[in-house]
Amino acid sequence: MQQPPTPDGVPHDRRRSTQRRAAQNTDKFGTGLERRRGPGRRRSDFIKSAEEGELTPEQFLFVMAIAAYKRSNDRPYPTWTEVLEVIRKLGYRKTCTSELNLDNCEDWTEPAEAPVFPETPAESA
- Tens digits of residue pLDDT in 46-95: 666 666 778 889 989 999 999 999 999 999 999 999 999 999 999 999 99
In a domain? residue 60: yes
In a domain? residue 52: yes
In a domain? residue 62: yes
Q: Which domain holds residue 63?
A: 41-93+108-125
- Cα gap 72→61, rounded to integer Å: 16
Q: Where are the beta strands (DSSP E) in 22-81?
A: none
In a domain? residue 4: no
Q: How many domains does the chain have?
A: 1
| 18-40 pLDDT per residue, tens | 555 555 555 556 777 676 656 65
Q: Is the pLDDT of residue 3 over 90?
A: no
In a domain? residue 8: no
The number of CA neighbours under 13 Å toward the Cβ of 78 is 19
- Cα gap 64→56, rounded to integer Å: 12
Q: Note whether 66 and 78 are within 8 A (CB).
A: yes
CB contact set of 90 (below 8 Å; sequence gap of 6+): 61, 62, 65
Region 5-15 average pLDDT: 64
In a domain? residue 23: no
**pTM score > 0.85 for this model?**
no
In a domain? residue 6: no
Read out DSSP for 2-29?
PPPBPTTSPBP-GGG--HHHHHHT-SSS
In a domain? residue 26: no
CA angle (79, 82, 85) in 5-degree steps: 155
| 87-120 pLDDT per residue, tens | 999 999 999 999 998 999 999 999 999 998 876 5
